[in-house]
Structure 1
Amino acid sequence: MSLVKRVPETGHWAQLYGYSRAVAVGPLVVTSACTADLDANPDLAGDPRGQAKAAFRTALDAMVHAGAGVSDVVRSRLYVTDPSYADPVGRVHGEFFGVVKPTATVVTVSQLFHPGQLVAVELEGFRAWRDID
């Protein structure tokens, strides 16, 4: 049995570029950068808080599919396209992880891949060996 579990990403870019939404290797689980789907949710345009919530939901869903949960998250990386977004995005981070308190890094980037994306989230988790099937 392989200790590597991949959570597939079904979007066009994942197929073209060859990546997974998340990968679990033994107890370690990592996600690719997750963003809000602005094509499916155009109301999130210009809303860093709403985009952060959507990105965290996507990342956490991938973690769950890889066999980890919110309490297993040990590191988060938040990418924002404007420093003023750090506070609303950080507050969303607190809503999701206020009890867990993983490490957190906020990085300002000039832009994200899709026009209108303001926030991207990456998560890393560590599962107990007993939880690995």
Structure 2
Amino acid sequence: MTVTRLGSGGPWEQSYGYSRVVRAGDLAWTAGCTATVDGRVAHVGDAAAQTALALRIGLAALAEVGVQPGDVVRTRMYVTDRLHADEVGRAHNAVFGAVRPVATLVVVAGLLDPEHLVEVELEAFVGER
């Protein structure tokens, strides 16, 4: 089985020792994706926009290893305040409403950058098309 590991050049990947996306056979995973672009947090204070961007970043990483949005079978969303849950969930639905992967939404004490309101992880199964 071939294992492909790709980075995005993000600020923490090299120093923390992880990949943005890994594909092993029919399975693929992203690392936690946030609304960080070029080392800066985008959409400060807007959990829905941060979620939409983080999902786009994750899906772009999966696309690099041949995974389509419909292949996503599980998502995890970490939010820093339960008050963001509905807007994060609606942003998730805008992307995955037709796919309907299993999903987990967890309230956490904080994320690496205090301006991050949400972090997402994606898992996919490619299998036969």
Q: Same fold (TM over 0.5)?
A: yes
Instruction: Find the counterpart in structure 2 of residue 83 from structure 1.
Output: 82
Q: Normalising by the residue count of structure 1, what TM-score does the alignment of the two structures yield?
A: 0.90
In 1, are the aligned partners of 2:41 and 2:116 still within 8 Å (CA)?
A: no
Q: Are 2:30 and 1:34 aligned? A: no
CA deviation string 1:66-105 (max 9, x = no partner): 2101000000000000001110000011000111000000
Instruction: Find the counterpart in structure 1 of residue 50 from structure 2.
Output: 51
Note the 1:42-121 alignment, pairs <5 A. 42=42, 44-121=43-120
Instruction: Find the counterpart in structure 2 of residue 17 from structure 1.
Output: 16
Shift of 1:7: 1.7
Unaligned ranges ≥5, structure 2: none
> What is the root-mean-square deviation in Å for CA atoms of aligned residues?
1.5
SS at match of 2:60: helix
The aligned length equals 128
Shift of 1:5: 0.8
Identity %: 45
Q: Normalising by the residue count of structure 2, what TM-score does the alignment of the two structures yield?
A: 0.93
Q: Which of the two has greater helix per residue?
A: 1
CA deviation string 1:2-55 (max 9, x = no partner): 51011213123111111100000000000000000165454x111000100110
Shift of 1:115: 1.8
